C-alpha cells in the first residue's frame, strides 16, 4: 500500500478529500494528513511552513504529497492561477518535487455542486445548479440554498458530506477534479 500525504488549507478540507478519495482508493492508498493544524494563512507563510512540512514528510514514509488549495476565483483569473502555481512550486521544490496540486476552482465546496443530488438528499432540498466550475463562491451558494431549512449547511459538515458524494459524478462534473484524478493516477504508477 502506498502512503500519500495530504496538506490543505483547513483540517475540514483534508478530511473531506480523504473521505472522497477513500471511496476509490481504499486498500490501495493510505492517506496521511501532514499538517493537521495548518490553515490558509499558515500555508502562505512559506518560510516556517516549508521547514515543518519537510520534517513531517521525511518522517511520514509518504511517496508524495497532495496539496489541496482553493483558487478563490474562477479559472479565468490568471493572476490568481499564477500565484497558486508559484506557491505550489516553491513548496514542492522543498520536498524534492514529490507533490501534486489539487486546485479547487473557487473553493472545495464546488465539488459538492458536482453531486448536487447527494447534497439535496442530505438537506432535504431540491437545489439546481449549472457547471460547478463557473459558480462564484459555492460555499455561500450552499449556505443560501439551506438558509430556510431546519438543517443548514456549515463548513464543518463537509467531511461527512464528502463521504456520501459520488466520486464518479464529482469527477464527471468538475473538470478541476477530473484533471487532478488523472494526475493522481499517474503518480501512483
> Contact 2/29 with Cβ under 8 angstroms?
yes
Q: Tell me the average pLDDT across 34-40.
A: 76
User: What confidence tens digit (pLDDT) does each residue in 107-146 have?
Assistant: 999 999 999 999 999 999 999 999 999 999 999 999 999 9
Q: What domains appear along the chain, each with residue ranges and CATH number?
A: 2-107+163-188 (3.40.50), 109-154 (no CATH)
> Contact 111/21 with Cβ under 8 angstroms?
no
User: What confidence tens digit (pLDDT) does each residue in 2-32 have?
Assistant: 999 999 988 999 999 999 999 999 999 999 9
Reported confidence tier of residue 106, pLDDT bands at 50, 70, 90 = very high
Q: Do strands 29-33 and 64-70 pair parallel, antiparallel, or not at all (unpaired)?
A: unpaired
Cβ neighbors of 143 (< 8 A, separation 6 or more) are 152, 153, 154
What is the b/e burial string over 143-152, where b = at least 16 CB atoms within 10 angstroms of the residue's CB?
eebbeeeeee
Q: Tell me the average pLDDT across 26-39.
A: 88
3-state secondary structure of 29: strand
Whole-prediction pTM value? 0.94
What pLDDT sits at residue 41? 66
* Side-by-side strand order, sheet with 99-104: 29-33, 2-8, 64-70, 99-104
Average pLDDT, the chain: 94
Reported confidence tier of residue 38, pLDDT bands at 50, 70, 90 = confident
Q: Tell me the average pLDDT across 35-50.
A: 76
Q: Tell me the average pLDDT across 73-97.
A: 92
Q: Give percent of the chain with pLDDT exceeding 90.
A: 83
Amino acid at each position: 500500500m502506498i502512503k500519500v500525504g495530504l496538506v490543505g488549507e483547513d483540517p475540514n478540507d483534508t478530511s473531506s478529500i480523504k473521505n472522497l478519495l477513500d471511496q476509490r482508493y481504499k486498500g490501495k492508498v493510505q492517506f496521511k494528513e501532514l499538517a493537521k493544524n495548518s490553515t490558509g494563512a499558515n500555508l502562505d507563510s512559506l518560510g516556517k511552513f516549508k521547514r515543518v512540512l519537510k520534517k513531517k514528510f521525511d518522517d511520514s514514509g509518504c511517496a508524495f504529497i497532495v496539496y489541496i488549495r482553493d483558487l478563490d476565483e474562477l479559472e479565468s483569473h490568471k493572476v490568481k492561477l499564477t500565484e497558486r502555481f508559484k506557491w505550489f512550486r516553491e513548496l514542492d521544490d522543498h520536498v524534492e518535487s514529490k507533490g501534486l496540486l489539487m486546485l479547487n476552482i473557487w473553493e472545495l465546496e464546488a465539488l459538492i455542486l458536482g453531486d448536487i443530488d447527494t447534497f439535496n438528499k442530505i438537506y432535504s432540498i431540491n437545489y439546481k445548479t449549472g457547471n460547478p466550475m463557473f459558480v462564484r463562491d459555492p460555499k455561500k451558494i450552499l449556505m443560501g440554498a439551506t438558509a430556510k431549512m431546519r438543517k443548514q449547511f456549515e463548513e464543518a459538515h463537509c467531511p461527512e458530506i464528502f463521504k456520501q458524494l459520488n466520486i464518479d459524478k464529482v469527477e464527471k462534473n468538475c473538470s478541476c477534479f477530473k484533471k487532478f484524478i488523472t494526475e493522481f493516477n499517474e503518480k501512483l504508477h
